[in-house]
Amino acid sequence: MERVEPELEYAARRFGDEPVLIAERTGVPVWVGENRYIAGRRAEKEAGAVMRGVHLLDDGFQHRKLARSVDIVLVTSADLEDSLLPAGNLREGLDALQRADVLVVRQNEVDAAIDAGEPSVNKRAWEMLRERGQMWMVQRKLVFPAPLRVFGAGLRPVAFCAIARPEDFAAMLQNAGCGVVETVAFADHHRYTAADMERVIAVAKGLHGSGFITTEKDAVKLTLTMRRQLEDHGPLMVVALEAEFADPAAVLRALEAKLVRTEARSS
């Protein structure tokens, strides 16, 4: 059980890319370990917490050994069309969503499915999910660093990433007006090497690329040496993904109400 130290050079290799990114973006203590209960108790001990506090688990829906106050599950259109492991990415069937207290969904996906003129499996699934319980709509956007914004890696950048659905990243870049000439995709959570950087550079050379674009989740895995490899051939731009609830005040009210009820039951 360890507390994530994002400032370490090889932090992502030691703690995982997502824990490091969460620690960097939020500034809150993040702990990793095979036993979630022990990790949580150690976090409490370090913080001096006795009875009060909130434990926020990433990927905790299938961790059934821990009692929970609220189950929040993100659902996308791709999930509705996906298959169970090992053929697909789903760990449980969609009927498992009946256990969730809240579903977080992308507003543009729900709107597109509900407004579709022709019936589809996707449309029926969204309608079923909307009827079964509370939904929190979320809106996403890419944030490009100043001062050049979408042109920070030139007019013909090559994108690369190691995320679950790289096609989403590529589509968002195109929709933002970024003239990506190719997206090089690695397996989710892939640990980058110097050879991987050479592969990306080779693609850029072959397509006369002007620079490189990647995500924050990928950037935490790049060593200083890897960054220099890329920057010897063109600028490297790291793009942030921001997600905002359509009605954040309603989300806070609902969360507070659920936590108050849980505390009242436990006392």
Q: Is the peptide bond before 119 cis (omega within 30 degrees of 0)?
A: no
Q: Which residue did the predictor score with more confidence, 2 or 266? A: 2
Question: Residue 73: inside a domain, yes or no?
Answer: no
- Cβ neighbors of 232 (< 8 A, separation 6 or more) are none
CB of 262 closer than 8 Å to CB of 69: yes
pLDDT tens profile 54-84:
889 988 898 888 888 899 999 888 888 889 9
Which pLDDT belongs to residue 176? 96
Domain stops at, among 28, 57, 86? 57
For residue 29, cis peptide bond before it (omega within 30 degrees of 0): no
Look at the chain and report how many structural domains it folds into.
2
Q: Is the residue at 112 inside a domain? A: no
Assigned domain for 91 exists: no
DSSP 3-state of 106: strand
Q: Would residue 189 count as lying in a domain?
A: yes
Answer whether residue 128 is part of any domain. Answer: no
Looking at per-residue pLDDT, the higher value among 239 and 133 belongs to 239
Q: Read off the CATH number of the domain in which 189 is found.
A: 3.40.50.1970
pLDDT of residue 207: 98
Residue showing tokens 């809106």: 139
- Whether residue 97 is predicted with pLDDT greater than 90 in this model: the reply is no
Give residue 261's pLDDT band: very low, low, confident or very high (50, 70, 90). confident
Provide the 10 A C-beta neighbour count for residue 211: 20
Rg (CA), the chain: 21
Q: What is the pLDDT of residue 149?
A: 96
- Which residues span the domain enclosing 38? 1-57
Q: What is the pLDDT of residues 184-238, one digit of tens each?
A: 999 999 999 999 999 999 999 999 999 999 999 999 999 999 999 999 999 999 9
Please state, rounded to an integer, the average pLDDT across all residues of the chain. 90
Do β-strands 2-3 and 157-161 pair in parallel, antiparallel, or remain unpaired? unpaired
Q: What is the pTM of this model?
A: 0.86
Q: Is the pLDDT of residue 51 over 60?
A: no
User: Residue 79 falls within a domain, yes or no?
Assistant: no
The residue type found at 40 is: G
Q: How confident is the model at residue 253 (pLDDT cuts 50, 70, 90)?
A: very high
Q: What is the DSSP letter of 99?
A: G
Tell me the sheet residues that pair with 159.
Answer: 183, 213
In a domain, 134, yes or no: no
Residue 136, domain member (yes or no):
no
At a CB cut-off of 8 Å and minimum separation 6, what does 149 contact? Answer: none
Of 10, 41, 57, the one marking the end of a domain is 57
**pLDDT tens digits for range 129-185:** 777 668 899 999 999 999 999 999 999 999 999 998 899 999 999 999 999 999 999
